[in-house]
Structure 1
């Protein structure tokens, strides 16, 4: 059973990823262009080492969404969101937004004051996701060039850095 127009989106369950989720996350990323696909090993490491700042969304036991994030070693108040993926069968249900809210609502996240991410200029859905997050958090958002396309070589766009914050937390509850 997929997530359809009549499905109750509350049946999607969120949790920190585990080492065992790496292979399924890898398959989700592969099926989610234009995301850059890293090695399966990389996703096992991300799921294990960054579980507190990442999330998987499951529907009927299958992973239909994933966000990887980590706090910057030199700035533990900055959460960097690395990749956001939502399965085609779960799109259009605000799942990416709900996963982002899940991470920010965790007790560990109360020390996070800023959210950063990079987005290529053509990735309009991601731009809209983070703009909506900034609005819901009543937080300013700044955009600046981060990586010029020339550093990637052929076939990759520039990456713009989006900086959102400061983010205000209210008793570790999700930002509306």
Structure 2
């Protein structure tokens, strides 16, 4: 998972993020966010438009007043349909909502868990301590283990790229019905 955690001003009580499923027409705005977020691999605008056509049900946007302030792309693995892979996520540094990146990740992963996913996977570099903490916290809250291994070594990915370390969370505990009611 490539990601950028938020930083910025304290939240205004009036600001509230709305999570929604992306549409193909959101692809260019997400591409612009990626382009302006250090540390994220910039793919083509077409890749996001296509992603939001084919994998929209596994991805999520955060909006404030209809402006996209965060996104998460993911998919269910074809060879392991009970596994949800989080590919890329970022939030705008000026959104002003505390822990928006964490909330976005948890909402997307829980949505897939509600749809039958038993595992959540993401690739994270060892230097990205904040995201590693988010993954461990997510696993702990859901009574799951986290395992890791090198998925793709750096020499497969070109000069200057780090090893892509796969972090696998699961199996995920079922959501108690009372907790499910509070999240819908």
Contact 1:134 1:141 in 2 (8 A): yes
Return the TM-score normalized by structure 1.
0.89
In 2, Cα distance between equivalents of 1:108 and 1:7: 31
Which stretch shows the higher mean deviation, 100-109 or 70-79?
A: 100-109
In 1, Cα distance between equivalents of 2:129 and 2:96: 15
**3-state SS of paired residue (1:89):** coil
Structure 2: unaligned runs, 5 residues or longer: 1-7
- Structure 1 residue 60, shift from structure 2 partner: 2.0
Q: Which residue number in structure 2 is paired with residue 80 of structure 1?
A: 85
Answer yes or no: is 1:21 the counterpart of 2:26. Answer: yes
Structure 1: unaligned runs, 5 residues or longer: none
Answer yes or no: is 1:138 the counterpart of 2:143. Answer: yes
Q: Which residue number in structure 2 is paired with residue 118 of structure 1?
A: 123
> Could you tell me which of 153, 157, 161 is aligned with 1:148?
153
In 1, Cα distance between equivalents of 2:52 and 2:159: 29
Cα RMSD after superposing both structures: 2.2
Contact 1:19 1:48 in 2 (8 A): yes
In 2, Cα distance between equivalents of 1:91 and 1:155: 32
Return the TM-score normalized by structure 2.
0.85
Q: Which residue number in structure 2 is paired with residue 67 of structure 1?
A: 72
Contact 1:143 1:161 in 2 (8 A): yes
**1:72-98 alpha-carbon deviations (Å, 9 max, x no partner):** 001110000000111111377111221
In 2, Cα distance between equivalents of 1:24 and 1:74: 31
**1:31-82 alpha-carbon deviations (Å, 9 max, x no partner):** 1120111000000111121111110000122111111010000111000000
What pairs up with 1:36-47 in 2 under 5 angstroms? 36-47=41-52
In 2, Cα distance between equivalents of 1:98 and 1:6: 14
**Cα 1:101–1:9 shift into 2, 3 Å:** farther
**Cα 1:75–1:33 shift into 2, 3 Å:** same
In 2, Cα distance between equivalents of 1:54 and 1:99: 10
Which structure has more relative contact order (CA 8 Å, sep 6+)? It is 2
What pairs up with 1:93-112 in 2 under 5 angstroms? 93-106=98-111, 109-112=114-117
